[in-house]
Amino acid sequence: LNLEILKLGGSVVTNKNQPMSMNTAAINRIASEIATAGGRGLVIVHGGGSYGHPLAKEYEISNGYHSDLQLPGFSKTRQAMIQLNSILVNTLLDAHVPAVSVNHSSFIITNNKKIGEVDFKIVELYIKAGMVPVLYGDAVLDTEIKFTILSGDQLAARLAIDLKAQRLIYGVDVDGVYTANPKLTSNARLIEDLSLSHMKGMVKIGEALSTDVTGGMLGKVQEATSAVEAGVNVLILNALKSDYIYNALRGESVVCTRLRR
Ligand code: IP8
């Protein structure tokens, strides 16, 4: 099975600075790029963006249970993600991609924020039937802290490993991993080839400097490390630029960061 996992960042599918707002132009274009590329042997995972993150933050879901006041927040976060997922799946269907929503928060449990044992048989069977499963970062139950937020980044990496995907593509709103934050620093350079040892060094430095260890590009690199170790080719590319996803899915060369062993 020639399989690819495509993670679409929340900063791609939604307008991040406007609550509950879709980036309609971007998702329409991406859906048609996926359709034209063939759209088979593909699993799509999307992030929370302005649907999931504001609620997750307001109710402090990510660090687990501390008050009953969080309980409606857990459910509201899930409802927002279901809504976002539904819009995305409908957009893919309109573009004639045989997308199907997979509500994995009903069967994935984390152990202190990390996915433990999980059976992706359902996802595998959808793919074998010719469909394109669409999963997402979500509020999930946790064995140690009762509940947490499972990022789409972690889920995508785990799917890539368990389903033995050829490639894992992270579509984000910048061209890849830079030497510094390109949104803050004008002389930031794109790193086109990132080795595992370089990645591990970066993650260490990032942990010391960053206030938000789970989020952003470093979080992505950290989650991707395990997939790279398992032999998956990982690309981080700009999904807001026309045809980048199309070219990547076609196996053509594209400006991006490649993670390698
Ligand atoms: O945007 C988190 O997924 P991510 C989703 O991939 C929620 O980190 C519910 C905030």
pLDDT in tens, 155-198: 999 999 999 999 999 999 989 888 877 777 788 888 899 988 88
- The stretch 122-135 carries a mean pLDDT of 96
Judge whether 192 and 257 are in contact, CB under 8 Å: yes
Ligand 1, atom 1, lies closest to the CA of: 47
- 193-217 confidence digits (pLDDT tens): 998 888 777 765 554 443 333 467 8
pLDDT above 50 (res 21): yes
Q: Calculate mean pLDDT across residues 74-101.
A: 97
pLDDT higher than 50, residue 236 = yes
Per residue in 1-12, pLDDT (tens digit) is: 689 999 999 999
What are the pLDDT digits (tens) for 42-60? 999 999 999 999 999 999 9
- Per-residue confidence (pLDDT) for residue 215, from 0 to 100: 60
Residue 181 is predicted with a pLDDT of: 77
- pLDDT of the residue at 210: 37
Using the predicted structure, report yes or no on whether residue 65 has a pLDDT greater than 80: yes
Ligand 1 near 77 CB (within 6 A): yes
Q: Is 153 in the pocket of ligand 1 (CB under 6 A)?
A: yes
Tokens found for residue 231: 């032999």
Q: Closest ligand 1 atom, CA of 137?
A: 3
Cα–ligand 1 centroid distance for 8 (angstroms): 11
Ligand 1 centre to CA of 137 (Å) is: 4
Tell me, in angstroms, the distance from the centre of ligand 1 to residue 52's CA. Answer: 6
Whether the CB of 16 sits within 6 Å of ligand 1: no
User: pLDDT digit string (tens) for 101-128?
Assistant: 999 887 799 999 999 989 999 999 999 9
Q: Provide CB contacts within 8 A for 121, sequence distance 6+.
A: none
Q: Which amino acid is at 41?
A: G
Structure tokens at 3: 């399989």
3 state DSSP class of 250:
coil
Q: How far is the CA of 260 from the centre of ligand 1 (A)?
A: 25
Q: Judge residue 162's burial from the number of C-beta atoms within 10 Å of its C-beta, 0-12 exposed, 13-18 middle, 19 or more buried.
A: middle
**pLDDT score for 214:** 41
The residue written with tokens 């997750």 in the block is 56
Residue 99 confidence (pLDDT) above 70: yes
Contact yes or no for 206/199 (Cβ under 8 A): no
Give the mean model confidence (pLDDT) for residues 78-100. 97
pLDDT score of 212: 34
Calculate how far, in angstroms, residue 50's C-alpha sits from the geometric centre of ligand 1.
9
Q: What is the mean pLDDT of residues 123-144?
A: 96
- Encoded amino acid at 140, one letter: V
pTM higher than 0.85, yes or no?
yes
Q: What percent of the chain has pLDDT over 90?
A: 75
